[in-house]
């Protein structure tokens, strides 16, 4: 894999936007079958250009307009915003107060920095294979709830390019949800509460809601390997003191003694469980595993940023956007292979451009026809790079959307209207 040099971005992006960016699929997504008039045209995009120039309220007429503009401006970053009442690029002509954000996908942003208090391997913008499991667990827990509890069907999970993941929920009804309901959904999905000054961040009630129990069951599958081996959360006094801070003081001394005797986090965890189950761990005088679960949840349960999710007009990094610092492409994550997803194998812009160069050299030798349109080129181009499998995941997502839409249209009318989209 080519090492990524940010200084090369302008050139790399030029190539990327001309030959690799999947405009057709992208448009197919955001056009949503063209069922609602001007849905795409009223969508806000924002670009971050070279030298950190940030421009909002970009909007486009159609796919080819989008292409032209992106190739012209060569954005370092692309964000997607809401669908507004008017074309965003004309918002200044609209009467004050009339320009309103109307719809947007429900989005989630899970950032590894929010776990700094519970991961020992990295901090801040760094990630590694030891802490990436947090994202795996997050996807499993949140996706299950979105699918089973809320009935959301069209969920796109995307790697952000550096230290986190995003989720885009694209169901038609979901795009219309109010800010209040979005907040409520985040609240439903939240268990870890409190900032730096709060030691114990999870408090379970006596009655465990099915969402909580199902989430705990997911965490259980990963806990031993993630927390006790990779993170080694009970490795030494410094680390186990943090956990003892979450349990009643009365058992600290005994546990410290026992921990000294042990040789691994695994062993110490067993002692911990014994110590807290049924002695001081009572909820209204009942014995039970609440405290054990609270510790597990504090160390493993997803932490959502409510501000990202609740605002209808919030702008979020676009899938297939490039991360300017790492060069990695924001690629969709295959839900069938969540456990195998490795952020370090996600293609960077330099690597796929390099791959493209290699292909072109080969092709030119065979084809010799340089009058072939860019489009035809491009249809084959990305397919021959490491980007291909990720675009496939995206296409599967789009297929599902189409199918669902066709089903809805059939239900609504007698005529079957075939959505037309540009290729």
Under rule CB under 8 A, residue 212 binds other proteins:
yes
Please identify, using beta-carbon distances, which residue of 18 and 214 lies nearer to other proteins.
214
Under rule CB under 8 A, residue 209 binds other proteins:
yes
- Write out the two tokens for 196: 């730096």
Pick one of 116, 126, 149, 172: the residue that binds other proteins (CB under 8 A): 149
Instruction: Name residues contacting other proteins, limited to 308-327 (CB under 8 A).
Output: none
Size of the site for other proteins (CB under 8 A): 18
Pick one of 183, 258, 386, 396: the residue that binds other proteins (CB under 8 A): 183
Q: How far is CA 142 from CA 67, 169, 192, 357, in A?
A: 34, 11, 14, 39
Catalytic residue flag (residue 44) = yes
Pick one of 6, 194, 210, 407: the residue that binds other proteins (CB under 8 A): 210
Q: How far apart are CA 59 and CA 77, in angstroms?
A: 15
Task: Candidates 20-28, 54-62, 177-185, 335-343: pick the segment binding other proteins (CB under 8 A).
Answer: 177-185
The b/e string for 28-65 (b: 16+ C-beta within 10 A; e otherwise) is: bbbbbbbeeeebbbbbbbbbbeeeeeeeebbbbeebee
List the alpha helices (DSSP H) in 189-289. 210-223, 237-244, 252-261, 265-276
Beta carbon of residue 251, minimum distance to other proteins (angstroms, whole number): 29
Catalytic choice (79, 111, 294, 355): 111
Under rule CB under 8 A, residue 152 binds other proteins:
yes
Under rule CB under 8 A, residue 194 binds other proteins:
no
Please identify, using beta-carbon distances, which residue of 67 and 103 lies nearer to other proteins.
103
Task: Candidates 117-125, 159-167, 183-191, 407-415: pick the segment binding other proteins (CB under 8 A).
Answer: 183-191
The secondary structure of 329-386 as a DSSP string is B-PBP-GGGGGG--GGGSPBHHHHHHHHHHHHHHHHHH---TTS-HHHHHHHHGGGST
Beta carbon of residue 211, minimum distance to other proteins (angstroms, whole number): 6
Q: How far apart are CA 113 and CA 219, in angstroms?
A: 20
Task: Candidates 117-125, 184-192, 335-343, 359-367: pick the segment binding other proteins (CB under 8 A).
Answer: 184-192
Q: Can you give the length of the chain in residues?
A: 423
| Among candidate residues 145, 119, 146, the one with its CA nearest the CA of residue 132 | 119
Under rule CB under 8 A, residue 305 binds other proteins:
no
CB-CB neighbours of 343 under 10 Å: 22
Residues forming contacts to other proteins in the complex (CB under 8 A) are 148-152, 177-178, 180-181, 183-185, 187-188, 209-212
Residue numbers annotated as active site = 44, 109, 111
């Amino acid at each position: 894999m080519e090492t990524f040099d940010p200084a090369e971005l302008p050139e790399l992006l030029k190539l990327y936007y001309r030959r690799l960016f999947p405009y057709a699929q992208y448009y197919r997504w955001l056009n949503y079958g063209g069922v609602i008039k001007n849905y795409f045209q009223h969508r806000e995009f924002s670009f971050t250009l070279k030298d950190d120039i940030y421009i909002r309220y970009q909007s486009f007429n159609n796919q080819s307009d989008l292409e032209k503009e992106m190739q012209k401006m060569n954005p370092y970053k692309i964000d997607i915003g809401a669908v507004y009442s008017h074309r965003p690029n004309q918002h200044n002509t609209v009467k004050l107060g009339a320009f309103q954000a109307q719809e947007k996908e429900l989005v989630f942003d899970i950032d590894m920095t929010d776990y700094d208090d519970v991961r020992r391997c990295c901090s801040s913008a760094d990630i590694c294979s030891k802490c990436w499991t947090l994202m795996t667990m997050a996807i499993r827990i949140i996706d299950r709830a979105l699918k089973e509890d809320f009935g959301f069907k069209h969920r796109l999970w995307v790697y952000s390019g550096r230290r986190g993941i995003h989720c885009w929920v694209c169901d038609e009804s979901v795009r219309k949800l109010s800010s209040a309901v979005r907040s409520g959904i985040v609240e439903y999905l939240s268990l870890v509460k409190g900032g730096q000054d709060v030691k114990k961040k999870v408090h379970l009630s006596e009655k465990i809601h099915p969402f909580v129990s199902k989430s705990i069951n997911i965490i259980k599958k990963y806990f031993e390997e993630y927390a006790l081996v990779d993170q080694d959360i009970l490795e030494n006094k410094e680390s186990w003191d943090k956990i003892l801070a979450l349990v009643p003081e009365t058992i600290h001394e005994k546990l410290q003694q026992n921990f000294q005797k042990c040789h691994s986090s695994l062993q110490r965890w067993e002692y911990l469980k014994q110590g807290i189950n049924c002695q001081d761990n009572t909820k209204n005088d009942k014995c039970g595993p609440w405290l054990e679960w609270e510790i597990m949840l504090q160390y493993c349960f997803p932490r959502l940023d409510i501000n990202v999710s609740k605002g209808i007009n919030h702008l979020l990094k676009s899938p297939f956007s490039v991360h300017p610092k790492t060069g990695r492409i924001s690629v969709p994550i295959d839900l069938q292979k969540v456990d195998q997803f490795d952020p370090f194998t996600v293609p960077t812009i330099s690597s796929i451009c390099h791959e493209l160069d290699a292909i072109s050299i080969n092709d030119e030798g065979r084809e010799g026809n340089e009058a072939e349109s860019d489009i035809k080129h491009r249809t084959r181009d990305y397919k021959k790079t490491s980007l291909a499998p990720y675009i496939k995941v995206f296409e599967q997502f789009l297929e599902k959307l189409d199918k669902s839409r066709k089903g809805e249209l059939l239900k609504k009318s007698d005529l079957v209207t075939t959505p037309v989209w540009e290729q």
